[in-house]
Amino acid sequence: MLCGLWLMIASSCVNRTAVTHPTDEPFRSVYHHSPAANWMNDPNGMFYDEANGVWHLYYQHNPFGTTWGPMHWGHATSKDLLHWEEHPIVLEPDSIGTIFSGSAVIDKDNTAGFGENAIVAVYTQSEVCGQHQSIAYSTDGGSTYVKYEGNPVLKGDVPDFRDPKVIWDSDHWLMTLACGQEIRFYASDNLKDWTFLSSFGEGVGAHGGVWECPELIKLKCENGQTKYVLLVSINPGGLFGGSATQYFVGDWNGKEFKCENPQSKWLDYGNDNYSTFTFHNAPDGRLVALGWMSNWQYAQVLPTVAFRSQNTVARDLFLYLDDEGEYRLGSVPSQETMALRGEETKTLPDAAVVELDLDGKQDALITLSNDRGEKVLMTLDIHRQTFSMDRTASGDCSFSHEFAASTVAPLFIKRDAYHLILFIDHCSIEAFDAEGAWTMTNLVFPSEPYNHIDVQGGKATIYNINF
């Protein structure tokens, strides 16, 4: 209680002026969202306001420093998923606890009684004795929220009980919640009263750490089959250690999720894509996702100054069948992200889009380097059918012994030629199979921007960013 009171007083001192996205220090991303100042982790409560064409992004935020602390929901909006405007904090800690991750829905039919089209945020409150789910509503399109007086709406019965992602399931709301190393499903008619349906996860997938940030997604595969994918972030115990997002493909019968394969599949084959969620109400039924572009292994010691962390570029998720006949979740750069590709250029700018055309019969070696001899090595290995990225000599790796690493992705689909897309920004490289079979997201901290790209076994076309 005392702790809650201190947080309320401290929060009222937060600067409430809206600012546009600054590029004020060498590792500040140009076209990735980052907070104007201080700490950020997971993207939260993302939704699309179709009437105004605005994407809303809330995020885990400590406004008092550049490391994790008393969590609030920060707020940013964008019309193109590239330029972001920062807005005042929308949710501050209170006597129930600090504000952890969660989601938001547009309550078109006023099921909760807060008004037609109210935006309802469903989030975790964390305190010393446990974690609970609370709700708040906005009647001004997501700019400000009023906390529901009946909070919390769902009290925790295990220590880790968090990150509610709410979707509409036929005729009621469905909440997916992380509970220790399991996912639980709850149903509600009004977003206030929640009934337990089932749990998922025992004996399934990776269990090297706590399960976090789940989301159940309905997708139609190219073969016409409808499937459900359950995204589950795990930390630690990810693919390359630390944090990563696993997923399971299966069926949802309105009560239970049954997966087809008990082994984890991985959303991204880099070190730095965590807590991925999709936007509620994205246009044309698209599944537009953002992830936190960092890893709990070293997120709090990264060499940025006024702020820490950024989000990935926007990606559209889809379901495909790989060469083994296994369902996989693919990610392609969203059309808004592809709009970044500007004029073709011969020299490598410090923020760029690079398309790689690689021969499917021989290995390819792609090297990004600067005049200081710092480099990132990428290899397409045809025999092993893998793509890898080595950042061990990429620049500053001194802040954490876990940072200097190499990551590897299976190609999943054998092709005659490979077309890859790289999104390069001031401290990140996101590699995509252009058709979305795999992605790899890695942070890098070169002491000067990479100004040279060399490709053996293929060709690179470099584009300035259109920003």
Q: Which is nearer to ligand FRU, 68 or 463 (CB)?
A: 68
Considering beta carbons, is residue 62 or 78 the nearer one to ligand FRU?
Answer: 62
Rank residues 124 and 441 by Cβ distance to ligand FRU and give the closer one.
124
The neighbouring-strand residues paired with 441 are 430
CB of 244 to ligand FRU, least distance (A): 11
CB of 162 to ligand FRU, least distance (A): 5
Tell me which residues touch ligand FRU (CB under 6 A): 41-42, 60, 71, 100-101, 124, 162-163, 212-213, 275
Q: Least distance to ligand FRU from the beta carbon of 211, Å?
A: 9
Alpha-carbon gap, residue 412 to 21, rounded angstroms: 37
Minimum gap (Å) between residue 161 Cβ and ligand FRU: 10
User: Taking a C-beta distance cutoff of 8 angstroms, is the pair 420, 320 a contact?
Assistant: no
Give the H/E segment covering residue 454: strand 452-456
DSSP state of 280: B
Residues contacting 65, CB < 8 A, separation 6+: 38, 39
CB nearer to ligand FRU: pick between 26 and 69: 69
CA angle at residue 240 from 236 to 245, to 5 degrees?
A: 60
Bridge-partner residues for 175, per DSSP? 166, 186
* 154/186 Cα distance (integer angstroms): 10
Rounded distance, CA 217 to CA 166, Å? 11
**88 phi, psi to nearest 5 deg:** -60, 155
Other beta carbons within 10 Å of 136: 23
Residue closer to ligand FRU (CB basis): 213 or 352: 213
User: What torsion, rounded to 10 degrees, do the Cα atoms 345, 346, 347, 352 define?
Assistant: 40
Based on CB atoms, which residue is closest to ligand FRU, 165 or 192? Answer: 165
For residues 143 and 45, the answer to whether their CB atoms sit within 8 Å is no
Residue 42 falls in the annotated catalytic set: yes
Determine which one of 42, 107, 272, 390 is catalytic: 42
List C-alpha distances in Å: 333 to 118, 123, 235.
Answer: 30, 28, 25
Q: Where are the beta strands (DSSP E) in 23-160?
A: 38-49, 54-62, 72-78, 85-91, 98-107, 118-127, 130-138, 146-147
Output phi, psi for 58, to 5 deg: -105, 165
Q: State both tokens at 47.
A: 């939704």
Catalytic residues: 42
